[in-house]
Amino acid sequence: MEEFPSALETPRNQQQNNTLTHQEHNEPATFIKQTKSKSTRSMTLLNRKSNKNSDPNNNTTAEDKQKWSRRPANTAFKQQRLKAWQPILTPKTVLPIFFLIGITFAPIGGLLLWGSSKVNEFTIDYTDCDIDAPQVQAGGDTNNGFQNLPPGKYGYHFANPEAPVPSPPSWLFINNPENQNASLRSLCRLTFQLPTPLDPPVFMYYKLTNYYQNHRRYVKSLSIDQFKGKIVPIERLDRDDQCKPVARSASNPSVPIYPCGLIANSLFNDTFLSPILLNPPNSNSNSMIYQMSEKGIAWSGEAEKYKRTKYTNSQVAPPPFWANRYPNGYTDQNPIPDLSRDEHFQVWMRTAGLPTFRKLYFRQDTDRMLAGSYVMDIYMNYPVRPFGGTKSIVFSTVSFIGGRNPFLGVAYIVVGTICFVIGVVLSVRHLVKPRRLGDMKYLSGVRLGLLQAVAISMLG
């Protein structure tokens, strides 16, 4: 006889089924509980913030929140909402730009080149005067025995095209080893002709080549505090970022060097005398000095960087390369130099950016430099052959663009010509084979699809 489940068993089975169902869906139920728990915590935090804001004892204001907030201000600049315009490069916009640059730059370059040609300038290289020039002893016949400089040791450029070609300059080396002043023992005497007068202002420069003043270690090797007249502890001067290795005296390491550093140590120390005009016109004298000044050769405001030092003669030592100038160190007879008035030092401390440079030594702002034959004495002390350099003197005038610089005008002409030629070429290309603006076939993806289609058709 078939047995039927009793009514008592039905709830038990339903309970087991419910238990099974709950176990099968255990993980989703847990997730729902966790979600509810997180939601509850979030609501609690929101209620706390709301209660905090509604708390009458809370004194935090909107200004305080804005003050301590790290959020950038709501401005177009700080929120990167500035308006922008990106032009579309089309032939109608690009071609006029090329023609405009060409038409503008070429005349400007021609004007600069013309202004540079109006500058009178001549250069004499006296590097090898102590080797190649005839040598005589001091007290001998120093008016004869001159020898012409080799070609390539001098150069002239005069604005007047009708000016006669001057004869080559000549030189003579006068040796005076008995002179007590070591800086006056080697004298190079130059003679040169000036075929045309030079109108003021007339400048005389010394020119150095293969001299890299822009080396990082060289440029940083100085003490600004020393230049301001302060007494600087030697420990500060000896640091790598200041005057080392020219900070302490070699004979007495406890004595600092003034002025310290590589730039001051390598100060150009050749001495030039003003040129002398021989047999001047309308004069009963056999010679006349063309007096040039050492004042006003530094940039305006340069002297403000320097103050008279507070050091005494016994507290510091001169740089090693200044030995000829200060053989016994700083003394009462040969005291510490006043850098605030030494314009040659100020000019040298303004380092050059290129290995070939010139620095101003003399100037004459009122008198003309008359045409004729000149004699000029140079006391040679600065060594340039060890680093393969040269040293020269340069006499020059100025024009509305400054000194002679043909490179600037040539650069403008070249750039203008190139832009004009490019404009012509692109114009011809546009007229012969124009390109429709926004042509989809030039897009990289479209071109790739066309290539694939061609390849499939060829293979099929």
Mean pLDDT for the stretch of residues 202-219: 96
Can you give the pLDDT at residue 301? 86
Q: Which of 39-43, 138-142, 266-270 has the lowest mean pLDDT?
A: 39-43
Q: What is the pLDDT of residue 402?
A: 87
In angstroms, what CA-CA distances link 348 with 68, 184, 268, 270? 52, 21, 7, 13
Q: Residue 178: its pLDDT value, please?
A: 87
283 phi and psi, to 5 degrees?
Answer: -145, 145
Higher per-residue confidence, 1 vs 95: 95
Give every CB contact of residue 91 below 8 A, 6+ residues apart in sequence: 426, 427, 430, 434
Pairwise CA distance, residues 347 & 296, whole Å? 10
For the sheet with 391-396, list strands across it: 154-157, 121-125, 391-396, 202-208, 357-364
- Residue scoring higher pLDDT (368 or 437): 368
User: For residue 448, what pLDDT is reported?
Assistant: 62
Q: What is the pLDDT of residues 281-318, one digit of tens each?
A: 888 889 999 999 999 999 988 889 999 999 999 999 99
Kindly list the distances between the CA atom of residue 460 and the CA atoms of 189, 450, 451, 455, 457, in Å, as whole numbers in the listed order.
92, 15, 14, 8, 5
The answer to whether the beta carbons of residues 430 and 423 sit under 8 Å apart is no
Phi-psi region of 149 (alpha: psi -120 to 50; beta: other; left: phi over 0): beta
pLDDT of residue 27: 45
Residue 444 clears pLDDT 90, i.e. is over it: no
Region 21-47: mean pLDDT is 44
Residue 175: which of 140, 150, 202, 201 has the closest Cα?
Answer: 140
The pLDDT confidence band at residue 242, using thresholds 50, 70 and 90, is confident
pLDDT band, very low/low/confident/very high, at 59 (cuts 50, 70, 90): low
Helix (H) or strand (E) holding 238: none
> What is the average pLDDT value for the chain, to the nearest integer?
84
DSSP state of 455: H
Predicted local distance difference test score (pLDDT) of residue 230: 92
Check residues 227 and 50 and name the one with the higher pLDDT: 227
Task: Kindly tell me the sign of the dihedral angle through the C-alpha atoms of 153, 384, 203, 323.
Answer: negative
What is the per-residue pLDDT for 25?
A: 43
pLDDT at 373: 96
Tokens of 30: 């847990």
**What's residue 16's pLDDT?**
45
- pLDDT of 54 above 80: no
What is the Cα–Cα distance from 123 to 115, expressed in whole angstroms?
A: 19
pLDDT score at 167? 92
User: Of 322 and 85, which is predicted with more confidence?
Assistant: 322
What letter represents residue 220's amino acid?
K
- Per-residue pLDDT reduced to its tens digit, 408-441: 999 999 999 999 999 999 999 999 988 777 666 6
Q: How far is CA 410 from the centre of its chain?
A: 22
Rounded to the nearest 5°, which phi and psi values hold at 152?
A: 95, -10
Give percent of the chain with pLDDT exceeding 70. Answer: 81
Per-residue pLDDT, 86: 82
Quickly state the pLDDT bin for 144 (edges 50, 70, 90): confident
What pLDDT is recorded for position 262? 95
- Model confidence pLDDT, tens digit, residues 84-131: 888 888 888 899 999 999 999 999 999 999 999 999 999 999 999 999
Percentage of the chain modeled with pLDDT above 90: 59
Tokens standing for 321? 């390369």
Whether the upstream peptide bond of residue 96 has omega within 30° of 0, thus cis, is no
Does the pLDDT at position 443 exceed 80? no
What pLDDT is attached to residue 446?
59
Per-residue confidence band for 72, with pLDDT thresholds at 50, 70 and 90: confident
Task: Report how far residue 246's alpha carbon sits from residue 233's, in angstroms, rounded to the nearest whole number.
Answer: 14
Does pLDDT of 454 surpass 80?
A: no
Q: 16-25, 102-111, 375-384, 421-430: which range is least confident on average?
A: 16-25
| Pairwise CA distance, residues 1 & 9, whole Å | 19
Crossing angle between the packed helical segments 91-117 and 406-432, to the nearest 10 degrees: 160
| Structure confidence at residue 71 (pLDDT) | 81
What is the structure's pLDDT at 51?
A: 47
280 burial class (0-12, 13-18, 19+ CB within 10 angstroms)? Answer: middle
Give the length of the chain: 460
pLDDT score of 67 more than 60: no
What do you get for the CA distance between the two ends of the chain, in Å?
80
Phi and psi at 444, nearest 5°, equal: -65, -40
Lowest mean pLDDT segment, chosen from 31-45, 73-87, 309-323, 398-412: 31-45
pLDDT at 36 over 70: no
Strand 202-208 to 186-194 pairing: unpaired
Mean pLDDT of 250-262: 92
